[in-house]
Amino acid sequence: MRKILASAVAATASLASVAAYAAQPVDWQTNFQPAATGIMEQITWFERYSLWFIVPITLFVLVLLAYCILRFRASANPTPSRTSHNTLIEVVWTVGPVVILLFLAVPSFQLLTAQYSPPEEAKLTIKATGNQWNWDYEYQTQDPLSFNSAMLTEDARKAEGKENMAVYPRLLAVDNEMVVPVNQVVRILVTASDVIHAFAMPAFGVKTDAVPGRINEIWFKAEKEGLYYGQCSELCGKDHAFMPIAIRVVSDAQYNTWLAAAKSDLPGANKALMAETDAAKVAAAGN
């Protein structure tokens, strides 16, 4: 009996580790995905901070409306007030919103500045080109590496070794993930080949339009290894909903090994990296 319970606990831990390993949308989600970058942590903080203003103001207005509806209805107030001016009210509803907006504006501008100010020079630059309905990635390295990333079809899961739906979810898993090193600034140059798309990675706190003939620049510094999912976030045609983005964050050594192998054998490099990272997560759960 104890062995059965121990096995069940180990299996549960393994599944929990796998679920945490892949940052992705979940059913009935009402908040942000877990932050994997410092910028996303700031965005999450600002969202919670702003709620301390939004919720009380919303409740106050609701109570005020209810009071006015009941107190000044025709049956209870047959003779309407003819007051046209009240200095105190004018001052309060002018100064109050100004003070509130200042408390919101200062951290908002600080966050906006941080989003456009990388802490250091980017160690890696990748060009991401949106197509209907997939992405082309080009690594701006000494020997450039280019490949296409498209949504993984159900009949291709077995061949790719991506049958675990918890790690490689339906409509989000891709055949070739973007691979980047952990704790390094990565610059993404975003454009499109046909119509307007949008490159969005919620766990990283990045999102920008991919516009034909124009290059938009974003950056991120992933602080946690793992597999992260995003999607095209600009309506781009009939298959807009089937244009996911997957980024695998690995150690420097794993990244360098993958990059060297990918230039001659991308499928083999992907499978070797996937086997190493997935096995490490399962082993950690077992411990």
The residue type at 265: D
Report the pLDDT value the prediction gives residue 279, as an integer from 0 to 100: 65
Query: Which residue has better confidence, 176 or 11?
Result: 176
**Percentage of the residues of the chain whose pLDDT score is greater than 90:** 68
Residues 6 or more apart whose Cβ sits within 8 Å of residue 243: 130, 133, 134, 135, 151, 197, 231, 232, 236
Q: Is 8 among the domain residues?
A: no
Across 200-204, average pLDDT = 94
Task: Indicate the number of domains in the chain.
Answer: 2
Q: Which two tokens stand for residue 164?
A: 């675990």
Same domain, yes or no: 147 and 254: yes
Same domain, yes or no: 136 and 66: no
Q: Is 11 among the domain residues?
A: no
Same domain, yes or no: 91 and 141: no
Q: Is 173 among the domain residues?
A: yes
Average pLDDT of the chain to the nearest whole number: 87
pLDDT digits 0-9 by tens, 226-269: 999 999 999 999 999 999 999 999 999 999 999 999 999 999 99
Q: Where in the sequence is the domain holding 68, given as residue range(s)?
A: 38-77+85-115
- The answer to whether the pTM exceeds 0.85 is no
- For residue 282, pLDDT over 60 is answered with no
